[in-house]
Amino acid sequence: MKIHEVKIYQEFDAPAEVVWEAFSDHANLGKIMGTKMERIVESPEAGNPNGVGSVRLIHAGPTSFEETVVKAEKPGCIEYKITRGTPLKHHYGKMAFKNLPGGRSSLDYTITIGSNIPFLGGLVKNMLQKGIGGGVAKYARSLKK
């Protein structure tokens, strides 16, 4: 199985805490990514329903799949993996947020994907690069000072 990597880097005119909050909320993340996304399992963490152990259902065209948050450290990172509903054998996402000078921040977003189905990993990689990359850039433009 070949592993493909999607890399997205984006800077924002807002502190990492603000951007992290936007990306950690499942419904809001769906708006950023341009797809319907809803939390279907709350995290057992007190006061953080979108934290570790939470599950989001993502509707992608005619199909849907579930992602589970495996790490959520405000405002540094969010990590998740697909846990149901996809022919991909491997899908892991890591969002790393960092404060920059002047009240700005950055996001380093890496997604690794793999499939035993020929060409599926490469196809999904291209779709994610364009779709997620475009959504993240649009969100960054919405924060311009």
pLDDT digits (tens, 9 = 90+) for 17-56: 999 999 999 999 999 998 999 999 999 998 899 999 999 9
pLDDT digits (tens, 9 = 90+) for 78-92: 999 999 988 888 999
**Tell me, what amino acid is at 51?**
G
**Phi (first) and psi of residue 49, to 5 degrees:** -65, -20
Q: Are the C-beta atoms of residues 39 and 55 closer than 8 Å to each other? A: yes
In the predicted structure, residue 74 carries a pLDDT above the cut 80: yes
CATH number at residue 100: 3.30.530.20
Q: What is the pLDDT of residue 40?
A: 96
Which residues span the domain enclosing 103? 3-142
What's the number of CA atoms in the CB half-sphere (13 Å) around residue 115?
Answer: 13
Closest CA to 89 of 70, 115, 111, 61: 115
Q: What total number of domains does the chain contain?
A: 1
The pTM score is 0.92
Residue 145 binned pLDDT confidence (cut-offs 50, 70, 90): low
pLDDT digits (tens, 9 = 90+) for 116-144: 888 888 888 988 889 899 999 999 999 98
